[in-house]
């Protein structure tokens, strides 16, 4: 097989140059791609907001994907637990997959507590400026604990769940997130509108 | 924030139901998604074929992505080496990412030696029937070693690269791949045509 140009980068892997890049995929899709990183306490509404936003964006013809516990913890990260080290590795892998997805032209949303600043910063630094939108789903521990739809906080208080963020493991609030969404006092629709306005104002969509 | 329906699957994760699924994304894209898994010896032409195929498909309006050493070994799998165990974990993660990409509606190509049958079978079993096309890029060790564009085989023979597939680590040929491409005796264009015919015949594109 006659070869394309190749180059070598380490001892035992030869790389072959692609001809199709992210900008070609964005052109085909007629929209940009970006990582929208939702962070916040359990019960703050990250997944709910991400899926509602995906519904809105998809119906506008935008290629979207939501990474969440369902497709990560049972798959790519099923070897990981909930210790600090495993949470860090979990977030690192989610960051790398998000980077692949935006390279593939997909507007990518992630819905994980991601409690540690250093882990979120690591993901931000994986990609170019403007490719990472940190969205803090802000609801107080009291609000989240009062909701406690599935009784997780109650179990954490009873010591039946270890290292539960906000109870027995810290949550470090974002210092300079691109967006703060008050998910305690607004409907899903209002929260979606706020994110959509940000995307429009900053020419993502 | 008023909630959507949720369900619980383990002790400390609550899942929120999405409304947008792979079939919605495929409808938006107006094409199917699938994993095309290229396997074969180093130098057999996996990456070259995958990138040439991507060029063809992208220009037909198909959303594509190629996973290869460049975007995996320096990112998601940068913590892994080349031992048998690390190769297995490498392929497992690539399989999981491929699954995410086809869920995102992307026709996904992977270009890794992936020398072990059990690892390739594990990926095949991750997805539904028809979602995994195993493509054996067939070129003899002699052919690949004679090409040796970057001198990797020479280094492996000299013991400067450890566990090099075909020399000091086994390559297990696919037993029932969907496609066998003779990359030793054909041009890239002919190989691309053969894969495209398979995709058309089987209604992937």
DSSP A73: I
What angle is formed at CA A25 by the lines to CA B57 and CA A5, rounded to 5 degrees? 65
With beta carbons under 8 A apart, name residues in chain B contacting A53.
none
Dist CA B93 CA A75 (whole Å):
8
Residue B13 lies in a domain: no
Condensed to tens digits (0 to 9), the pLDDT of residues B161-204 reads 988 999 999 999 999 999 999 999 999 999 999 999 999 999 99
Which residues in chain B are closer than 8 Å to A68, comparing Cβ atoms?
Answer: 15-16
**Is residue A14 scored above 70 in pLDDT?**
no
Residue B14 domain-assigned? Answer: no
- CA-to-CA distance for B83 and A161, rounded, in angstroms? 36
User: What is the mean pLDDT of the segment spanning A172-200?
Assistant: 97
CA atoms of A171 and B32, how far apart (whole Å):
41
pLDDT tens-place string over residues B121-161: 999 999 999 999 999 999 999 999 999 988 999 999 999 99
What's the CATH code of the domain at A64? 3.40.50.300
Do the domain assignments include residue B4? Answer: no
Which range marks the domain in which residue A196 is found? 22-201
pLDDT at B157: 96
What are the chain B neighbours of A73 within 8 Å (beta carbons)? 13
Any domain includes B11: no
Number of domains in chain A: 1
Note whether residue B2 is domain-resident: no
Residue A98 pLDDT class (50, 70, 90 cuts): very high
Q: What confidence score (pLDDT) does residue B16 get?
A: 62
> Is there a domain that residue B3 lies in?
no
Do the Cβ atoms of B72 and B100 come closer than 8 Å? no
A2·B188 Cβ contact <8 A: yes
What stretch of H or E contains A70? helix A69-71
Per-residue model confidence as pLDDT tens digits over B88-131: 999 999 999 999 999 999 999 999 999 999 999 999 999 999 99
Subunit contact A6:B61, Cβ cutoff 8 A: no
Query: Which residue in B has a C-alpha nearest to residue A160's C-alpha?
Result: B11
In a domain, B15, yes or no: no
Q: What is the pLDDT of residue B2?
A: 43
- Residue B65 pLDDT greater than 50, yes or no: yes
- Pick the residue from chain B with its C-alpha nearest to A154: B12
pLDDT tens, position by position, B17-41? 799 999 999 999 999 999 999 999 9
Cα–Cα distances in Å, from A145 out to A35, A42, A154, A171, B12?
28, 9, 8, 14, 14
Q: Tell me, what's the pLDDT at B75?
A: 94
pLDDT at A15 over 60: no
pTM over 0.90: yes
Tell me if B163 sits within 8 A of B83, measured CB to CB. Answer: yes
Q: First-to-last CA distance in chain A?
A: 42
With respect to residue A116, please indicate whether it lies within any of the assigned structural domains. yes
Token representation of residue A126 = 């994986």
């Amino acid at each position: 097989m006659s070869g394309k140009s190749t180059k070598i980068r380490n001892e035992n892997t030869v790389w072959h140059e692609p001809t199709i890049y992210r900008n070609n995929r964005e052109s085909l899709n007629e929209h940009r791609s970006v990582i929208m990183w939702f962070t916040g306490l359990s019960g703050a509404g990250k997944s709910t907001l991400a899926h509602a936003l995906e519904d809105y964006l998809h119906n506008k013809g935008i290629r979207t994907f939501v990474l969440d516990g369902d497709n990560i913890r049972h798959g790519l990260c099923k070897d990981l637990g909930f210790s600090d080290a495993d949470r860090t590795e979990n977030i690192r892998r989610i960051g790398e997959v998000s980077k692949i997805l935006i390279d593939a032209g997909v507007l990518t949303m992630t819905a994980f507590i991601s409690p540690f600043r250093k882990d979120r910063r690591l993901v931000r630094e994986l990609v170019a400026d403007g490719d990472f939108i940190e969205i803090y789903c802000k609801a107080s521990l009291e609000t989240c604990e009062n909701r406690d739809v599935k009784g997780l906080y109650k179990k954490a208080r009873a010591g039946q769940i270890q290292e539960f963020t906000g109870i027995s493991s810290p949550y470090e609030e974002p210092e300079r997130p691109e967006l703060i969404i008050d998910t305690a006092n607004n409907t899903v629709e209002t929260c979606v509108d706020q994110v959509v306005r940000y995307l429009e104002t900053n020419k993502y969509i």
